[in-house]
A and B are shown apart, each in its own frame.
Chain A
Amino acid sequence: MEVYGKEKDLNAFFGLVSERQERVKQASPLPDMEDPIGDLSRMLHPEGIQLVVSAVREETPSVKTFRLEPAAGSGIGLPVFRPGQYVSLKAKIGDAWITRPYSISSSSCDALSSGYYELTIQKKEGGFLTGHIWDLWKNGTVVDMSGPHGNFYYDSLRDSLDIVAIAGGTGITPIRSMVREMFAGDLDMRITLLYGIRTPDCAVFSKEFDMYAAREPERFRVVYVCSESDNTWRGPSGFITASCITENTGDVKGKTFFVCGPREMYRFLDRELEALDIPRRRIRQEASGEPFDVTSEPEFPGETKDRTFSVVVRMGNKVRTISAKGVDTVLVSLEKAGIGPDSQCRAGECGMCRSLLMSGDVFVLPDGDGRRAADKKFGYIHPCSSYPLSDLEIRIPLTGGVVAGGNGGSSGILTREGQRYE
């Protein structure tokens, strides 16, 4: 066979290497590491950010909003995000490195134009981290966290322009971010907010919501639904039921629901929304996170609730044996031992803490099983949503935590012992 004549063809063939050599000779001998795509990636998704508390605002007696900004002169740009996303706080308490996800309650526009994030945090009785935040976060406190993450956000290609937001308690924080973003002009939609509160005085951001509702009632409405109302309360009371939803939002057809609140609210709302026959794609629900008390989860096998198991933990060549309570997630037990792998969502969703279960059994929260199909096949677990049912042997990834000697965070912003750790 010939293409353009044998001689020409073979010259072309043998010319490949000489052409290559010629091109190499002509090229610059200096390394060129310019990578604008990598730069964009690091701006959007930095591995971690360090911010400083610049203001503290008391919203209610048990809820505070902390404003966080890059330290002056640090040159850190605050990543923009999709309103509704969270950051994962990283803190050292005693020997324990822990993480906690918190939705950013300010908007991405706030980050872009005014250079801050706000985190709105409720003090929980017996809560491990919130008490410390409450006592110790003051102006100037340095805080380590991940970049923004999570899938609870409005998407114009997927969601309706008509939004019904249902929030319970501090589940209001991602919704507030969306509302602020909408009014800053970057989200083109209409929101009806059903805001479930326990008592009349515990609504957070109500002044701001009322102001927006008065300003543009056709774009934003807010209805406070009080579960423990008193005789001064004039709004709807009780829980947010199917009829409460239809009374306040009209026809639900074609609307997208954003739901964020405690686990108990999800369990209740699941039935109510089912009664309204809303297609699954129209319901966006934020991940539930760790139950405060797993024994109250209907699927939890009760027999291990008082037991403590032994867990052999392999990290690289190191092996340690730790104890793990049946009511604690494997991640919590690892953190208590000071060897937590890095984690973010703490809801089984993001897979950051993915670890190999070499032996033993775990209970995985049904709504927290975000594992890949092959990971189930090859024995991986997400320790943040897994509870020991027997003694375990696991292999955890190296990064995070003090044992990895790496990027666990700064020098320890919280120093006192935690309430749930002896």
Chain B
Amino acid sequence: MNKNIKSNLHFDSYYDAVVIGAGNGGLSAALQLSLDNAKVLLLEQHNLPGGFATSFVRGRFEFEPSLHELSNVGSEQDKGFMRKFLQDKGGVDVEFMPVPEAYHLILSDEGVNIKIPFGIEKFTDTIAAAVPGSRKSIERYMQTCRETLGAIGYISRMNGMPDPKVLMDEYPSFMVTAGYTAKQVTDTFGIPDRALDMIYPYWCYLGIPVNRLSFTIWALVLYNYILKGAYIPRHTSHGMSAAIDARIRELGGRTEYSTRVTKILVEDGRVAGVETAAGERIGTDYVIANLSPNVVYGRLVDDRRKVPEDAYRLVNARKIGASAFVVYLGLDASPDELGIESYGYFIGASMDTGKAYDNYFTFEAPEMQAAICLNRAIPDCSPPGTTIVSMTALAGPDTWKDVRPENYVRFKQEFAKVMIDQFSEALGSPLSDHIEEIEIATPQTFARYTGAFKGSIYAYEQDPWDSVVARSMSRPQEQFIKGLDFAGGFASIGHGYESSFLSGRIAAQMAMKKITR
């Protein structure tokens, strides 16, 4: 620890670990550290915990900004990682509400309108019934995905540092697929195109087309989702974030909001402390950063010369993933009155993931959307006789870069109108006659509230060379500053709520091994 760090007004002079950013990764890391009795300080620039896992209130509605489905929660009888970690080990006061179906797919050009259920068997049965002759190939496919899940479980148990030999011996189908994209592997199964259309919609939560997306991460996400079903927190994701924050404090951890870290202090190649915007210096030997390495290396480390060149090279080699464009509606009619029968919809012309990606990464109105009717999982999330609907499209991190402030609202409205009309047409549900509250988020909005670099919500894109596998295997040589680790979407597991919780916990456990008290 830096001996020159003076005591200060609002903090102790030393903490075992300082977590920067109270997004899902940061909350998870701080929770795990507090569970392990470390003296932890969690600092967040915004006045709320959660990062994207938050909520906002307009009139009589409280909106869920980002979460569609939380994977790997599992039922009380068959608990997944999230339930075990937060409720059982963590003692976090969060209630999970089940999502009723996997997704409802509407493809206007293909004449597809089908509700896909949870459960590997039901999933297979439903698609096989809709596309005769597809059953065998889908069964084999899901079996391969299952083995991937087992391998990732092993990697997770090894704290992100698997032994390649064990992987080869015990998870053979993992090894032979991990070098490829989702399309490269999937194409070899001979699944009919129409069935693939029904299997692929979940790609958009991974954010790159199937001909680039790592098969491993695709298989993991798809299989886990269908196998264990999905849940959402009772009082929006802010309910989960606030509950974790409360638990960290209860365990003796310290959380502080509206407090921006402006510097990570580094001495002799290792972390010595942090400095806040108010100029207070806090000593620590371990920093877990729940934010972009671009920002950490480019702006936070107190002197750029202390950052090895390879750190900048790594950051520059990676591609910053999608942000989002989201329309939130508070409607003055019930879901039944509006004819909205399902919780989650994918709506588009076709399931061409490359075309959809190109559309998202160009500055034009979105052609495909993932829509959520929150009331279908939480009937009383809004007052009786009202409905909350959100419509999400991805947006390339730079797509809004040339928008001038004076044109910003006009473009928002234009794009939102296209999405509202698309939804209304697909469901035969004229929403525009019922809009009581409307809010629209763009990449700028995500940047504004979370400070996310370029407004990205998906961190780095997960091509095979930057997938969980490559990230985990490269982890030791990518530890550029001793005592500095990452949590959240930029870390080893990749983006998404569950992945961020996993990476936060891994970072905490790695730090705990070295923290001596």
* Closest CB in chain A relative to B452 CB, distance in Å: 9
With A31-B312, A37-B447 in contact, do A157 and B438 touch (Cβ < 8 Å)? yes
CB neighbours of A36 from chain B (8 A): 398, 400-402, 454
A35 at the interface (CB under 8 A from B): yes
Q: How far is the CA of A43 from the CA of B432 in the complex (A)?
A: 31
Instruction: Assess whether B176 is in contact with A41, with CB atoms less than 8 Å apart.
Output: no
CB neighbours of A281 from chain B (8 A): 332, 434-437
Instruction: Assess whether B313 is in contact with A354, with CB atoms less than 8 Å apart.
Output: no
* Closest CB in chain B relative to A396 CB, distance in Å: 10
Instruction: Assess whether A20 is in contact with B239, with CB atoms less than 8 Å apart.
Output: no
Bitwise interface map of A from 374 to 405 toward B, beta carbon under 8 Å scored 1, else 0: 11011010000000000000000111100111
With A3-B188, A9-B177, A316-B9 in contact, do A157 and B409 touch (Cβ < 8 Å)? no
B121 at the interface (CB under 8 A from A): no
**A23 nearest in chain B by CB position:** B317
Instruction: Select which of A23, A28, A37, A108 is within 8 A of B454 by beta carbon.
Output: A37
With A3-B177, A13-B175 in contact, do A24 and B453 touch (Cβ < 8 Å)? no
B302 at the interface (CB under 8 A from A): no
Instruction: Assess whether B309 is in contact with A151, with CB atoms less than 8 Å apart.
Output: no
Q: How far is the CA of A43 from the CA of B469 in the complex (A)?
A: 39
* Closest CB in chain B relative to A29 CB, distance in Å: 4
Q: Which residues of A (56-109) have their CB < 8 Å from a CB of B?
A: 77, 79-80, 82, 108
How many chain B residues sit at the interface, stated as a range, is: 35 or more
With A31-B312, A37-B400 in contact, do A405 and B278 touch (Cβ < 8 Å)? yes
Bitwise interface map of A from 339 to 353 toward B, beta carbon under 8 Å scored 1, else 0: 001100000010110
B62 at the interface (CB under 8 A from A): yes
* Closest CB in chain B relative to A184 CB, distance in Å: 11
CB neighbours of B447 from chain A (8 A): 35, 37-38, 40-41
Instruction: Assess whether B470 is in contact with A17, with CB atoms less than 8 Å apart.
Output: yes
* Closest CB in chain B relative to A260 CB, distance in Å: 16
Q: How far is the CA of A19 from the CA of B432 in the complex (A)?
A: 50
Instruction: Assess whether B173 is in contact with A1, with CB atoms less than 8 Å apart.
Output: yes
Q: Which residues of B (135-175) have their CB < 8 Å from a CB of A?
A: 144, 164, 168, 172-173, 175
9-residue interface stretch from B68-76, B412-420, B483-491: B412-420
CB neighbours of A10 from chain B (8 A): 168, 175-176, 179
Q: Which residues of A (122-169) have their CB < 8 Å from a CB of B?
A: 151, 155-158
With A1-B144, A15-B179 in contact, do A37 and B297 touch (Cβ < 8 Å)? no
Instruction: Assess whether A13 is in contact with B179, with CB atoms less than 8 Å apart.
Output: yes
Instruction: Assess whether A35 is in contact with B470, with CB atoms less than 8 Å apart.
Output: no
Q: Which residues of B (445-474) have their CB < 8 Å from a CB of A?
A: 447-448, 451, 453-455, 464-467, 469-470, 473-474
Instruction: Select which of A9, A32, A156 is within 8 A of B175 by beta carbon.
Output: A9
Instruction: Assess whether A33 is in contact with B176, with CB atoms less than 8 Å apart.
Output: no
Q: How far is the CA of A314 from the CA of B444 in the complex (A)?
A: 34
Bitwise interface map of B from 168 to 208 toward A, beta carbon under 8 Å scored 1, else 0: 10001101111110001100100000000000000000000
Instruction: Assess whether B448 is in contact with A45, with CB atoms less than 8 Å apart.
Output: yes
Instruction: Assess whether B176 is in contact with A13, with CB atoms less than 8 Å apart.
Output: yes
Instruction: Assess whether A352 is in contact with B47, with CB atoms less than 8 Å apart.
Output: yes
B495 at the interface (CB under 8 A from A): no
Q: How far is the CA of A310 from the CA of B242 in the complex (A)?
A: 27
Instruction: Assess whether A20 is in contact with B466, with CB atoms less than 8 Å apart.
Output: yes
**A153 nearest in chain B by CB position:** B409
B259 at the interface (CB under 8 A from A): yes
Instruction: Assess whether A29 is in contact with B313, with CB atoms less than 8 Å apart.
Output: yes
Q: Which residues of A (394-422) have their CB < 8 Å from a CB of B?
A: 397-400, 403-407
* Closest CB in chain B relative to A5 CB, distance in Å: 9
Bitwise interface map of B from 1 to 35 toward A, beta carbon under 8 Å scored 1, else 0: 00000000111100000000000000000000000
B122 at the interface (CB under 8 A from A): no
Instruction: Assess whether A404 is in contact with B176, with CB atoms less than 8 Å apart.
Output: no
Instruction: Assess whether A157 is in contact with B417, with CB atoms less than 8 Å apart.
Output: yes
Bitwise interface map of A from 264 to 280 toward B, beta carbon under 8 Å scored 1, else 0: 00000000000000011
Instruction: Assess whether B176 is in contact with A6, with CB atoms less than 8 Å apart.
Output: yes
* Closest CB in chain A relative to B209 CB, distance in Å: 19
**A108 nearest in chain B by CB position:** B406
Instruction: Assess whether B416 is in contact with A40, with CB atoms less than 8 Å apart.
Output: no
B258 at the interface (CB under 8 A from A): yes
* Closest CB in chain B relative to A275 CB, distance in Å: 19
* Closest CB in chain B relative to A1 CB, distance in Å: 4
* 7 shortest interchain CB distances as A-B pairs: A12-B179, A316-B10, A36-B401, A281-B436, A9-B176, A374-B239, A27-B317
Using a CB–CB cutoff of 8 Å, the interface residues on chain A facing chain B are: 1-4, 6, 9-17, 19-21, 23-33, 35-38, 40-41, 43-45, 77, 79-80, 82, 108, 112, 151, 155-158, 279-281, 315-318, 341-342, 349, 351-352, 354, 370-375, 377-378, 380, 397-400, 403-407
Known: A3-B177, A12-B464, A37-B401. 15 other contacts (CB 8 A): A16-B465, A24-B314, A27-B314, A30-B312, A35-B447, A35-B454, A37-B398, A41-B448, A77-B405, A155-B413, A157-B416, A279-B332, A281-B332, A374-B236, A374-B238
